[in-house]
Amino acid sequence: MSLFAALRLPREILFGAGQSDAVGTVTARHGKRALVCTDARFAGTDAFARMIGALESASLTVSVFDAVEPDVPTGNVAASVAHARGFAPDVVVGIGGGSCLDMAKCTALLVRHGGTLGDYYGEFRVPGPTLPVVAVPTTAGTGAEVTPVAVVSDESRTLKVGISSPWLIPVAAICDPDLTMTCPRGLTAIAGADALTHAIEAYTAVRRDADAALPQSRVFVGKSALSDHFALLAIRLLGASLERACADGSDAAARADVMLGALAAGCAFGTAGTGAAHAVQYPVGAVTGTPHGLGVAAMLPFVMAYNRPAALSEFADIADCLGLSPSDGSPEGRAEAAIAEVARLFSAIGIPADLKALGLPADRLDWTAEQASGIDRLVKNNARPIDPAEMRRLVGAAYEGRLSAVG
């Protein structure tokens, strides 16, 4: 297979302590009237007030929509768009967790192109540039600051739905680990586990031939030489520091590693895509209402065990990135060590070990497997092909917490 690489990223990525002070200068390069999307909690913080001051000091006219709700309900998006149209912004700034960044993307899309969110569900349905988005994450997990995806909760549908288009990639991402220092332990764990899942699924995604039409017809194209670089960086950083950041939220070095790891994971999966762990979480999340990061992380060790025969060398690389030196140094031994270490790490930071613990009812296992099997963009990106019967076996093993039943 010939060497192939693909990557789609913001024009500008800034990372480091204090970089959020540059939000005014960066935003002013893209407009004069800035709509800021955030949630009510963060809107009351000193850090938010400081960033609003920076925007105003850069001669921007600012309006704040501070009612972003978790999981971005479509009705909440409509409220943001109505607020925006009354203000007429020419740039949108998302400040907060993944929901705030997705809200900024959706608002920028609808203000520029009109219609409803449903007009854009799926891939490559955004017809052109949206209003420019500047993304300032305050959690370290989703990678939404660099990805071409916005996920919303449509009240008319059972599962969450996504809009995937390169036009949704923010023009700038400003990642300041100082903004994560007050993030609670539970959220730090869930967001960080989400990021590690992104990185591992991106690194073990299917590798496709270097077809010139591929990146023009798919948002997620599978693993490539460039996405691999970012995925391995993310695994190394998160493996070294996520547990430390959860144990001591004041550990600035660990916080920086985790945020850079989440950023790198976003750079990887924004082009490579994710796989079966994410496919299963869509129906599991719909039934249980559990956070996205919690669900994908609970599934990851089981998906790794299923994919191991098809991605043995990749899992051996992951073991190396996690600093593991098993007594059996063969690719098989290193792969097994990687799966065991991810399961151990997630247990240590409080991720449930099975789907039963997430609250998935036993009578919804068939439905969960059926729904997951139907998410083609994720299932077809998985390292190892998975048909409906295998998906049912995988979901059953994850429900019971039996890694040995996956193979």
pLDDT, residue 160, reads 87
State which amino acid sits at residue 242: L
Do the Cβ atoms of 268 and 262 come closer than 8 Å?
no
Place of tokens 């967001």: 191
* Secondary structure element (H or E) that encloses residue 117, with its range: none
Q: What is the mean pLDDT of the chain?
A: 96
pLDDT, residue 181, reads 95
Is the pLDDT at 396 greater than 80, yes or no? yes
pLDDT digits (tens, 9 = 90+) for 159-177: 888 999 999 999 999 999 9
Is the pLDDT at 261 greater than 80, yes or no? yes
* Secondary structure element (H or E) that encloses residue 191, with its range: helix 185-203
pLDDT confidence of 1, banded at 50, 70, 90? low
Task: To the nearest 10°, report the CA torsion of 211, 215, 216, 219.
Answer: 140
* Helix 225-247 vs helix 252-272: crossing angle, to nearest 10: 150
pLDDT, residue 137, reads 98
Do the Cβ atoms of 26 and 85 come closer than 8 Å?
no
pLDDT confidence of 209, banded at 50, 70, 90? confident
The rounded distance, in Å, linking the Cα atoms of 75 and 69 is 10
The mean per-residue pLDDT over the stretch 327-332 comes to: 93
The rounded distance, in Å, linking the Cα atoms of 314 and 258 is 22
pLDDT, residue 34, reads 98
Long-range contacts of 73-77 (CB under 8 A, 24+ apart): 73/152, 73/153, 73/155, 74/116, 74/117, 74/152, 74/153, 74/154, 74/155, 75/155, 76/103, 77/103, 77/106, 77/107, 77/110, 77/117, 77/152
Token pair for 41: 């909690």
Do the Cβ atoms of 137 and 39 come closer than 8 Å?
no
pLDDT digits (tens, 9 = 90+) for 265-310: 999 999 999 999 999 999 999 999 999 999 999 999 999 999 999 9
Number of other CB atoms surrounding residue 275 within 10 Å: 32
Sort 279 into a burial class: Cβ within 10 Å, 0-12 / 13-18 / 19+: buried
The model scores a pTM over 0.85: yes
The mean per-residue pLDDT over the stretch 100-118 comes to: 97
Distance of CA 129 to the CA centre of its chain: 22
Residue 328, C-beta contacts closer than 8 angstroms, at least 6 positions apart = 334, 336, 337
The mean per-residue pLDDT over the stretch 357-379 comes to: 95
Strand locations in 145-291 (E): 149-152, 161-164, 172-175
Token pair for 360: 């998935």
Is the pLDDT at 47 greater than 80, yes or no? yes
Number of other CB atoms surrounding residue 328 within 10 Å: 11
pLDDT, residue 58, reads 98
pLDDT confidence of 3, banded at 50, 70, 90? confident
